[in-house]
Amino acid sequence: MRTFIALILLFSAAGLAAAQTGAQKKVEPPKTREELMQRVLLTALANIEKIRCADDKACAPATDAEKKNPPLTLSETSQVFGRGILSGGAAYCEMDWNKRNYLPMMAHWREQLKKNDRQLALVSLVHDIAKDQLIAEFWGKGKCPDEMKKDIESKLNFKP
């Protein structure tokens, strides 16, 4: 699974670089996981107005202050990104990632960690960036390998 995750991070970094530029110019992939998480977090902030925050209204665009001091830490971003990778793998393997991973994860961030609506919006965006990148890389490449499905099965149920 470590090899699988390393490949996913590589594909995610390349996909994220393309998404950030609209695939118009070449952007170097991040050299470290920290750099990848910084890019993911900034990409989520750049898209925050596309999802709902409080009172089912669109979130306000990110401010310059938020971009300099984001509402999530890189450690939190990394945790959520990892869960998004699992959701993407589960989607590829035709498993219920939403009920088993995403919804319990969001409940944990809301109820136990007491994150506000804006932070929850970022959690959702970071998760979806990872999930969608994995799906984009693996969808249509045949059946999910049994070993991969077994590994995801053992990790998919969210536990804080």
| Residue boundaries of the structural domains of the chain | 2-155
Q: Per DSSP, what are the bridge partners of residue 52? A: 58
The predicted structure's pLDDT at residue 141: 87
Helix ranges (DSSP H) in the chain: 2-21, 33-46, 64-68, 74-92, 97, 103-107, 117-138, 146-155
Q: What is the mean pLDDT of residues 121-138?
A: 95
Q: In angstroms, rounded to a whole number, what is the distance separating the alpha carbons of residues 108 and 117?
A: 13
Q: How confident is the model at residue 8 (pLDDT cuts 50, 70, 90)?
A: low
Model confidence, pTM: 0.84
Virtual CA dihedral for 114, 47, 70, 83, nearest 10 degrees? 60
| Alpha-carbon span 6 to 85, nearest angstrom | 11
Q: What is the pLDDT of residue 15?
A: 54
Predicted pLDDT at 21: 43
Lowest mean pLDDT among 6-10, 87-91, 102-106: 6-10
Q: Name the token pair of 13.
A: 């970094």
pLDDT, tens digit (0-9, with 9 covering 90-100), for 59-102: 999 999 999 999 999 999 999 999 999 999 999 999 999 999 99
Q: Which amino acid is at 29?
A: P
